[in-house]
Structure 1
Amino acid sequence: MRFNPKARLDRGRVGDAGRGRGGGGGGSRIPAGLPVGGGIGGVLVLVVVFVALQVLGGGGDGGGAGDSAVDGNERYAACEFGSDANENADCVRVAVENSLHDYWSGELGAEYRPIDRLVTFSDSVQTGCGTASSAVGPFYCPGDQRIYLDTSFFDEVLERQLGGPDGGFVEAYVLAHEYGHHVQNVLGTMGEVRTQQGAQSDAVRLELQADCYAGMWTRAATTTRDADGQTLVSELTQQDIDLALAAATAIGDDRIQERTQGQVTEETWTHGSAKSRSRWFRTGLEEGTLVACDTFSAPRV
């Protein structure tokens, strides 16, 4: 994935919360036995991309990581142009967020509203859904409409523990999946979730739809533009797409269960099988429409 060197990056929706206090526990790991919560429509929930659909303690206590903590940092200060994204992994994150913002604003029109923030952190973070540690992996919190990301997840969990791919387009796919959850929040789809576990559950359909939405953005990424009309993404290759598919496969519930417990139990699935995750990403990539990504209307997913 390459970016137009002349594209101007907007850092306004990206920030860093730094290192949290307590609950970090020495970096990312695969969570074990996370509780599965009730209906999304009536509570604030934490949507964790890889491992579980989890309710976190009520409404939280701060409405996010804290604006002073997020805004008062220098992590993204050097991210001004696409040329910076071509040289700096942090700036890639800004560029991808900008591309997702432009794509979904065009796709949803008047219904669209942007995320409040993409927040990177270490160890733990205060969110509108409660306190979260690095152990939960990347997630979207509907309570404050923010995406949270401990970047150590990709090396420590996805690659080393789950045997997934490394680098390249992988993080972009993850961010696109999480932005897909924001789109679901905007459209009210989260309120459709009633069943929380099982291969055909609403929770699984929600996650597979987010994968499909990630595919939609991938299909159109090279058409997205900055505020001045400059193309943001100048190149997206088949290798990038293959990396996204490999990541989707690695984080299927069946693959995770095989690696962590030695057996597959479909009745506890919350995110879908490896085959389903890659298939729905490909559906979004090939079809490119919200209708094609309606997992809730599909007889089986």
Structure 2
Amino acid sequence: MNAHSEEPPHRGHTVADKIHVLSLSCDDRPGIVAAVTTELAAMGANIAESNQFWDRQTNRFFMRIAFAAPVGAVKDDIERALKSPVERFGMKASLIDQRRRLKIIVMVSKFDHALLHILYQIKVGWLNAEVAAIVSNHEDSRCNAELAGIPYHCWPISKNDKTKQEEKLLELVRETDAELVILARYMQVFSDALSKRLYGRAINIHHSFLPSFKGAKPYHQAFERGVKLIGATAHYVTPDLDEGPIIDQETERVTHSMSAEDFVAVGRDIESRVLARAVKLHLETRVMLNGHKTIVF
């Protein structure tokens, strides 16, 4: 439904190409959609996309609206226009410019396939992001970072200095204004404290179809069990290891004739695709947290 179909834009307003995205959640009750769209229509905005979901178990309502605001309207103007419904319904709301380039930090260990896939998708414009830094506990990906002109930080980890490494990561997030940390096969476990600090802002790719085959060598575990489907899971990082809210998953069929190395090769492709899709969904603010689950629009 377009906002201008209910009420024409104010005389003299010209709808801009700039698209804003409003994401909100609140307890469900009648009138939420009408209250928001009425305010957008009153300021002459044009709704390009609208998605909503009511979680009956928790009675929470989730909505994502992408809209073009009139030329000259800035974020403060839009937030002021939406203040009344936000306060009336007790909404938790965020408003962003869809075209902004989010700064991200990518973390990697020795396996670089997921990292390279993200860099390529940014290069061709499918992912609208800027890699502020690549962080690793090994030197293996330095060449890739230098070729892409991205600062590379190699921080080897031992049991005695893990806390210092995590402090350096948080400082790097602050210095670069990075809004998302991506664990692209980074084979170190975040502490509970770091996981809580980055909750909702750190995405991990788990190289198996959770909750099956956690821990080391999941594809070899799957091979030994003779599974017929393998997969990968992208999820937000939480203190509970590999149990964060799931953003995206994918599986692929395998057979008894394949080797464990074949499983790994198939898995690399799945991991790269799933992680990139999850990152794109997050960048476009299509993921909303709902307890231990996600709403993905």
Relative contact order: is structure 1 or structure 2 higher (C-alpha 8 Å, sep ≥ 6)? Answer: 1
Which one has the largest radius of gyration?
2
Structure with the higher fraction of residues in strand conformation: 2
The interval holding the TM-score normalised by the smaller chain is under 0.3
Provide TM-score, normalisation by structure 1: 0.23
Provide TM-score, normalisation by structure 2: 0.23
